[in-house]
Amino acid sequence: MVYFETFSFEPLAPFSLDLSAQVFSSGDPYVRSYANGVFSQVLRVNGTLVLAEVFSMGTVGQPKLAVELKSNKPITAQTVKAAKEAIKYLFSLDFDLNTLYREVEGDPVMKKITQQLTGFKFPTTPTVFESLVDAIIEQQISIKVARTIEERFTKKFGDKMDIDGENYYAFPTPQNVKDACINDIRSCGLSERKAEYIYNAAQLIVGGKLNLEEMKNTSNPEEIIIELDEIKGIGIWTAELTMLRGMQRFDALPADDFGIRRVISTYYNDGKPINAEEAREISKAWGKWKGSAAFYLIIAEVKALVV
């Protein structure tokens, strides 16, 4: 039996679901996807797995989101509330984009880009563990290949739910991963080292030696980087990417990322290669939201925006 619940709410304006969920347009519909104006993902909320389908009923200036939840178990009011909070976190709906836009006012390039992409918020992951695993997978490989591996990893180790005869998957918990073995993790398309890094992180979390969620409350980003850098296989790039996508630390800029350096050079250095230090210098013009601003450049490149 499938249970249904629907609700709607109004995010902080401006917000564009179409721009923000576009990164999932080629995603696996049984893991996470965006198609025909509908974003879908299995969420683990209030001890229950629910398939959340989200679509826009408003405008960028007056956004309104409608949500339908599906589950194999009765959906309580507490589950609806938790699902709403999870969706708000996923798209950073409590973040006021106007603070970013004001911050980049003095940068003509970024100002023009944000004006053309008003309402875009790069999605974050429901848990820091998911962001960390994704960052490890993405080390030194293309995003396209990494996404395929991430989806394979989710379907192999994640908890599944049956909706009308179709299986949908939630991202694996640290316990799910710890209960596996390194060879199983490797079978998703990962190197032995990356499989070891992921397994080791899961072991630390389950063993109580690592609390990634608690790091969200650390005010000094350098302290987070230092702590993550001590974990086997986690360098500064992986730590910064984890902070940005899993902790909503929009002040983090993974300047060692080739893709981010490329888009910065495209719009700020006539396409000529730049190093991490040069990327960080350019990003100073974006103030404390430099990580979020960098993702605007990525979307601008995808859309071939001219400034």
Write the CA distances from 133 to 2, 16, 257, 289, 291, integer angstroms: 31, 27, 16, 24, 19
* pLDDT for position 271: 94
Q: Which CATH architecture has domain 128-246?
A: Orthogonal Bundle (1.10)
* pLDDT for position 21: 97
Write b or e for each residue in 51-89: b if 16 or more Cβ atoms lie within 10 A of its Cβ, otherwise e. Answer: bbebbbebebeebebebbbbbeeebeeebbebbbebbbb
Token digits of residue 280: 């960080």
Q: Which residue has the tokens 């893709």?
A: 259
Q: Is 140 exposed, middle or buried (0-12, 13-18, 19+ CB in 10 A)?
A: exposed
* pLDDT for position 47: 87
Q: Which residues make Cβ contacts (< 8 Å) with residue 255, sequence separation at least 6?
A: 240, 261, 276, 277, 279, 280, 283
Q: Which residue has the tokens 């719009």?
A: 267
Digitized pLDDT (tens) for each residue of the chain, 307 residues in all? 899 999 999 999 999 999 999 999 999 999 999 999 999 999 999 889 999 999 999 999 999 999 999 999 999 999 999 999 999 999 999 999 999 999 999 999 999 999 999 999 999 999 999 999 999 999 989 889 999 999 999 999 999 999 999 999 999 999 999 999 999 999 999 999 999 999 999 999 999 999 999 999 998 999 999 999 999 999 999 999 999 999 999 989 999 999 999 999 999 999 999 999 999 999 999 999 999 999 999 999 999 999 9
Q: Give the fold, CATH level 3, of 3-94.
A: TATA-Binding Protein (3.30.310)
- CA pair distance 263, 158, nearest whole angstrom: 33
Q: What is the CA radius of gyration of the chain?
A: 19
Per CATH, 108-121+252-307 and 128-246 having the same topology is answered no
Half-sphere exposure of 51 (CA within 13 A, CB side): 22
- CA pair distance 37, 93, nearest whole angstrom: 18
Domain ranges for the chain: 3-94, 108-121+252-307, 128-246
Q: Which CATH class is domain 108-121+252-307?
A: mainly alpha
* Contact between 60 and 16 (Cβ < 8 Å): yes
Which of 86, 70, 51 lies closest to 2, judged by CA? 70
* Cα distance between the two ends of the chain: 52
